[in-house]
Structure 1
Amino acid sequence: MIDPIEAALGFFFQAKHVECCRVFHGRGQLFQGLEHVCLDWYAPVLLITAYKSNIDIDAFLTVIDKADLHSQITSILLQKRYEEGAPVEILKGTVPDKILALEDGLVFEVRLGKQQNSGLFLDMRPLRSWVKANCDGRNVLNLFAYTCSFSVAALAGGANSVTNVDMSKTSMRWGLENHAHNRQDVSLVNQIPYNVFTSWGRIKQLGRYDLVIIDPPTRQRRSFDAEKNYGSVIKRMTQLCNDRADIIATLNSPFLDQQFLLDKFSKNAPAAEFVESIPAAEEFEDKYPGKALKILRFKYRERRRLT
């Protein structure tokens, strides 16, 4: 049953890799019987994420050892997402306290085994690249900033300033560490470690923005629900955006498609015109693209009164 995993491992590890990457994406439902398994590479650690308990660990270790031609893997971890707290079992080596993952010349700290998520969403790699390439001289607003990977990309791309907003103080401190790892000037960064919905005054006070990134969780207990709250966030864009600002809106719900976002913008920010969809990282191919990650870019055009 694990033949597709063996093939993916063999293909990936035939060369040396220093950059983080998803190696096998079972959640994309392209491999029958393996929908519950994903493999991620954070050199030198291979992380197996399992959403069901029917994992043949010995078989996995055998195919991994066979594939590791250049002896790149020093640690193998199994995250049990089917158990409360998503605990991590060490299958080989040790769990480093911190791993500095490399992506597109930037460094991001990931922490494996301490919480459900690593601190870096690998499917967002193309968006980080877009941000890095399109931020020169711009003021950036990063809503639901998590560990501030977009902020790191923005400063790397020459942004004048970045305002990060996220209610998790732990994640925001983590974000500052990410900036430090990249030797970036944190005086260009404004951190607002509070709920987005109670922070609009402070966000507006820091000025209008040339790029706004809206990257919320689909549903976060007591703080955000995409169906109920996304429209109210979009409605604020008219107060926050400079003319010709870019607005990036993401959605990672299997129950809400791209049209959901298009409708929300049409209703709440009609001056924002849809420009394009930005794809997720190519290794996150999905059998049902409409249920996978959606990344949409809009261009805000300020409506001036005729005189």
Structure 2
Amino acid sequence: MLTPSSPSSPINSSLNAAVEAIEHAEFTPESSELGRWFHGRGHCYPGLEHLNIDWLPPVMLITLYQAESQERLQPLVDAAMAKGVGKVALQHRYQRGGPIDWLLGESLTELVVTEQGLKYGLQLGRSQNHGLFLDMANGRQWLRQRASGARVLNLFAYTCGFSVAAVAGGARTVVNLDMSKGALKRGQQNHQLNDHDLRGVRFLPHDLFRSWGKLRKSGPYDRVVIDPPSFQRGSFVATEDYQRVLRRLPELLLPEAELLVCLNDPTIAPDFLIELMQQHCPNAKYVERLANPDSFPEQDPNRALKVLHFHYQAD
């Protein structure tokens, strides 16, 4: 992996670091293993804070958070072609809906990728997010390793990546809750891609704050994942709503439980979640912060994805 520039490095807006990342990335045309090839959003590469590059086989996806000319991006396409990549897509995340242009190869909207041996279906060009958050890979693996025989609650489930990992790890039951029926349907399809038995898996398309009764009836749980959007008006605002969730957690838990509490807001440090838990669910003690994947270097760890492990023990 490339070594990020130090914070004191002079600003350099050339694409050399991104080109080198493509050239050094592990790649075989036959592999379906996805991954991040370049993470500019971590502010480790001065001048490239607006650029990420992901390998979503068979597509190299360039994501921009501010406008760039296609001419300036051509070295990235050239590096991909030299490596044997046949499809390059460009997503404009600074535009509403995150539209996609194709810089190389024919367009592709549906693809199946692999992460740690598990399959996930992705969609390109239909919405801002393609269906799997790559920086959460260690969180999914953490749950998979601790799911055997567990009763799992997956809040803000999106396309059920945590659920897929839990079932692969031998979970007894999994309850997925998300307001989006479409996302949960894609989650169901992700399970089917892995030939999972869904008799112990539930998909609840509900508003969390109106669904405590349903969750209690399906519980109690000894593994809980809370991975909400940072700011989604009408659904969840972290600074206002996280305490509402933590306050009622004990209603849903077995006397001993493991919690994975997550937040991806660069303006909020991990202490926010630790202090909220102390205040609103004091029987849950902070254990550790999970490391993010090495392919997501960050100049300031407080800005990176927060994935915190708590251990709950009832009085």
Which string of whole-angstrom CA distances, capped at 9 and with x for unpartnered residues, describes residues 195-235 of structure 1? 11111100000120010000000011112110111011011
Written as runs of structure 1 = structure 2, the 5 A alignment for 1:279-298 is 279-298=291-310
- 1:29 maps to which residue? 43
Structure 2 residue identity aligned to 1:239? E
Q: Is 8-17 or 93-102 further displaced after alignment? A: 8-17
- 1:62 maps to which residue? 75
- Aligned pair partner of 1:2 in 7, 15, 26: 15
Q: Percent identity?
A: 39
Residue aligned with 1:282, SS: coil
- Aligned pair partner of 1:168 in 180, 186, 195: 180
Answer whether contact 2:263 2:306 (CA < 8 A) is retained. yes
Residue aligned with 1:284, SS: coil
Structure 2 residue identity aligned to 1:9? I
Distance in 2, matches of 1:259 and 1:272, equals 14
Residue aligned with 1:22, SS: strand
User: How much has 1:245 moved relative to structure 2?
Assistant: 0.5
Q: Tell me whether 1:260 sits opposite 2:294 in the alignment.
A: no
- 1:98 maps to which residue? 110
Q: Tell me whether 1:12 sits opposite 2:33 in the alignment.
A: no
- 2:217 maps to which residue? 205
- Aligned pair partner of 1:147 in 155, 159, 181: 159
- 1:246 maps to which residue? 258
- 2:8 maps to which residue? none
TM-score (norm 2): 0.92
Give 5+ residue unaligned stretches, structure 2: 1-13
Residue aligned with 1:172, SS: helix
User: How much has 1:15 moved relative to structure 2?
Assistant: 5.6
Structure 2 residue identity aligned to 1:94? E
- 2:3 maps to which residue? none
Answer whether contact 1:213 1:247 (CA < 8 A) is retained. yes
User: How much has 1:18 moved relative to structure 2?
Assistant: 3.1
Residue aligned with 1:264, SS: helix
Written as runs of structure 1 = structure 2, the 5 A alignment for 1:86-125 is 86-125=98-137
Answer whether contact 1:162 1:190 (CA < 8 A) is retained. yes
Distance in 2, matches of 1:287 and 1:70, equals 29
Structure 2 residue identity aligned to 1:208? P
Residue aligned with 1:236, SS: helix
User: How much has 1:70 moved relative to structure 2?
Assistant: 4.9
User: How much has 1:105 moved relative to structure 2?
Assistant: 0.5
TM-score (norm 1): 0.95
Which string of whole-angstrom CA distances, capped at 9 and with x for unpartnered residues, describes residues 134-169 of structure 1? 100000000000000000000000000000000000
Distance in 2, matches of 1:89 and 1:147, equals 24
Distance in 2, matches of 1:300 and 1:81, equals 38
- 1:221 maps to which residue? 233
Structure 2 residue identity aligned to 1:8? A
Answer whether contact 2:19 2:75 (CA < 8 A) is retained. no
Answer whether contact 1:95 1:113 (CA < 8 A) is retained. no
Distance in 2, matches of 1:38 and 1:143, equals 27
Residue aligned with 1:33, SS: coil
- Aligned pair partner of 1:82 in 74, 87, 94: 94
Q: Tell me whether 1:51 sits opposite 2:65 in the alignment.
A: yes
Distance in 1, matches of 2:260 and 2:193, equals 25
- Cα separation, partners in 2 of 1:58 and 1:129, compared to 1, 3 Å: same
Answer whether contact 2:292 2:305 (CA < 8 A) is retained. yes
- Aligned pair partner of 1:277 in 258, 277, 289: 289
Distance in 2, matches of 1:111 and 1:202, equals 31
Answer whether contact 1:219 1:225 (CA < 8 A) is retained. yes
Distance in 2, matches of 1:9 and 1:126, equals 23
User: How much has 1:14 moved relative to structure 2?
Assistant: 6.2
Answer whether contact 1:79 1:89 (CA < 8 A) is retained. yes
Distance in 1, matches of 2:66 and 2:207, equals 33
Residue aligned with 1:137, SS: coil
